[in-house]
Every structure is written in structure tokens, then in C-alpha cells.
Chain A
Amino acid sequence: MTNGRGNRTAIVTLIAILVGIPLTIVGYQYGLRPVFADHRIIDITARVPENGGFQPDLVRMEVGETVTLRFAADDVVHGIAIGPGLGVDIGQVDPGHVGEITLTVDSPGIYTYYCNTWCSPSHWRMRGVLEVVDPDAASPLSSPPDPIIEALVAAGIDIDADPQTVDGIVPDRARGQASVGSVEVPAELLEPDWRLQHTPEGGLGLLRAANRDTPDDLLIDVVAYLWSNTVPTEQAVELFAKNCAACHGERGGGDGPVAESTIDPPVAFAEAAWLRRGDIWYAKIRRGGMGTDMPNFGTLFTVEETRSLVDYLWFLSFAGP
């Protein structure tokens, strides 16, 4: 073996390795894989928002098109979900791993893929837009107005006013449940939509008028039961744990682990509940809080999911110790 030839072989081998490995990887990802896949595959990198969040943060697809989204976590654990109404939750993706979902969306609209695991102080900013367009439709995508929020605005109610709190009212929900049959309950108080637009205090006024001889503290318990009598759905509990508990606390006491890093202290639901209208809670969740760190969840949750969350807030507020 002459020295020159050995050297040349070594150099050629080295160059083949240095060029071949990247070429193989890139060639597979951008060449082979798209050719052999029968639908589009989109790679999305997930980083904390301070380092770019989702990249890309906009994905366009057509109605009925099947697309695979591959979310690769880059720095810490992220949770990947897509809403509203798609019911997609890939779960937690550890750094260095990929969470994959193949989906077909049948109704056009603007959807959001978002992180639902607290990953940094700006965690809630970690969102991307999934546009599902109907190529035959002439009109551009738009979201229909929300009747509940529209009604609040029309009535001139300030959604962003600080919640009023009242001391000394600690209802006993269980006692209210036991006594609800023994008092005269006006028909409005049995309507979920009426309760959504009135405070428990307002309900107490009507209940007092109908039960003049019943002690007040018992009526308070009955009102608390009426406002919180919807058994929390598993989905609402899950949504709350994933998206709200980090700030508002596991039991809604405003004492979550990252509560100290928010501009305003997160609301403790029980303190605000007695003078709170459900539709304002609903609006806060969907639209966010102006000037606070309360994010908007209207682009993530359906109307039904938001209503079930509001029910859960009543439940937490009046659940007792």
C-alpha cells in the first residue's frame, strides 16, 4: 500500500462521511418522506415563548385534507393541544421527543394549537394558528360574535372592573342542598341562563321575597347550592387543572405556584363569587383580562367548554372547606 493512495482513500472516506450524513438526514426529511407519504407532514418545533414558541406558528390546510403535525419539544416539557372543539390533546412531549397527530378537519375556521403545560413565565403566549380554509368558499374566515359577551357590552357592563368581594359570607353548600326542597324557590333561580346573568346576591333578594320567615343564613346556603349545583364535568376539571390551576390554584384560591409572577394577583374565586355574575366570568375566560396576565381562552375553548368551566368555578367557590 503506497502512502499516497492510502491518504487519498482516507480523505475521500472522510468527505463522504461528512457530506453523506447531513445529506441523508436532510434528503430523507425533505425528499424521501414527502414523496412516500400520501399526505402532508409538517414539522413544528416547540420552545418556550422567550425562545420563539412554536415554529412555524401558522399552518394552513384545506377542509377535509389530512395532515400530520409533528411537534418536537426543544427545551423543556410542553403539552400540545389543539382547539377549539377539535378535542385534540397530544399530551406532554418531553425535550428531544416528538408528539405526532394526524388529523382531518371538516369545518373551516381558525383553530389554535397551544401549550397546556406550564413551561415558562410567558407560557400562555405559546400558541400557533391553524387555518382551515374551504377553497370553494368566497368569504374569508371570520369568527361569529359571542352573544353572551355582546350582551354584556350592550348593557354597558365593565368586564374588566375589579371583582367586588364581600366578607363574612361563607355558605354551606351541603346544607343548602338539604334545604332546597323546604323553601319556595322562584322559577328564575332554576334557569341556568338567568343565573348566568345574575349574582348570587341578586338571587338571594328574590329568595328572601318568596320566603319571608326563613332565616337568612339558610337562604344563603340555598342560593350557594343553586349556583353551584352542576356537577363538574371531568372535562372541566381537566381543563382547569391544565390551564388555570398554575395561577389560580388547585382549589381556586388564587394561590397557584406561579401566582407571584403575575402583574395582578390572580382572583380567588370564593372571595369574588358572591357578587359575581357568571357571564362576566365567562367573558373573562374567553376574552382575557385587560391589563392583567389573564390570557384569553376564547380561541382555545368552545362555548360549551367555557360554560362548563364557569360551572366549575361556582362549584369551587361554594364547595366549602
Chain B
Amino acid sequence: MQTSKRPVIARRSVLLLLVLAALLVPVPAFHAPQTHRISIDASQFEYSPGRLTVNRGDTLQVTLTASDVVHGFFLDGYEIDARVEPGISQQFTVSADRSGKFNYRCSVSCGPLHPFMIGELVVGPNEPLWRASAIAVIAAAAMLIGAGTRRSA
């Protein structure tokens, strides 16, 4: 290797900057906050719908019903715990201010498969995945460029 160290350091700083950017640049919000009116029905042993997808900053006005026995609704990461009986619906509001994937699960023993009664709330795009993908792309590009410069040297 006859190349001086300076280009190497410069290359590495650029690489580091790119990686940091991929890790830390905030994702802009593409959507104006919306209010969703959602009905969730709890039955043995599933929620319907079992998956909710909203954008960060949205508000969910949930009407929770039960159609066979008493069920619960505990939303991970949002400090929400409701209990619902057949014939007596429950209303509550969720402000989706944390992005990520959060499970909602039954918090009242409702029968043999109760532990598997889980739904998921997806808030916003899957940021960790996209950031990791960007870093992978940067790494791959850096390796290709590095290999090219070594071959030409």
C-alpha cells in the first residue's frame, strides 16, 4: 500500500458520518395526524381486528366489545388496561405518540388459550429496519468502493 493515510482517514470519516446520519436523522412526518374511530371485538381467543396500523401522532378512539365472555385489553407500552363484558362496551382513547410495534393482549383469564390472545398495534413505519437497511447499503457500497480503489492502486 503506497497510498498516504489522509484519503483513508477522509474516507473513514465520510463513512462514519453516513452511518451516523442513517442512525440519527429523524424521519419526517409525511402525514397529518388523523383520528381513527376503531371498533375492536374481543372473543375467545382473538381480537378482531388483530392488527392495527396507524401513523405516529394519530389518535385512536377505540370502542371495545366482547362477544362471549369477559375479556381484557392491555396495550404494551401505552399504559392502557381495559376490561369488557359482553353487552357493555368500553370506550377509551389512545394517542399513538410512540412509534414501533406494540402488542395488545387479553388481561383477564378467559379460557384455555387465553395466553395466546394477542393483537398488535403498529405505529409508523418500521424505523429500525429502514435504518439498518441503510447502514447495510452504506457498508456494502464502502466495501465495493474500497475494493475498487485497492485494485486500481
Contacts and interface: CB of A to CB of B under 8 A. Distances in A.
Contacts of A121: 68
Interface of B: prevailing SS: loop
A256 interface: yes
B108 A118 contact: no
Given A120-B69, A257-B68, A76 B87 contact: no
Query: Chain B: interface residue count, which band?
Result: 10 to 19
A76 B69 CA distance: 8
Contacts of A95: 109
B93 interface: no
B86 A96 contact: no
Interface in A192-251: 241, 244-247, 249-250
Nearest to B85: A117
Interface of A: 75-77, 92, 94-96, 117-121, 241, 244-247, 249-250, 256-258
Nearest to A76: B69
A268 B109 CA distance: 32
B110 interface: yes
B98 to A, nearest CB: 29
B65 interface: yes
B67 interface: yes
Contacts of B87: 118, 241, 244-247, 249-250, 256-258
Interface of B: 41, 65-70, 85-89, 108-111
A224 B73 CA distance: 40
A59 B21 CA distance: 73
B53 to A, nearest CB: 25
A191 B86 CA distance: 36
Nearest to A243: B87
Given A245-B88, A250-B87, A250-B88, A118 B109 contact: no
Contacts of A92: 70
A245 B84 CA distance: 13
A94 B109 CA distance: 7
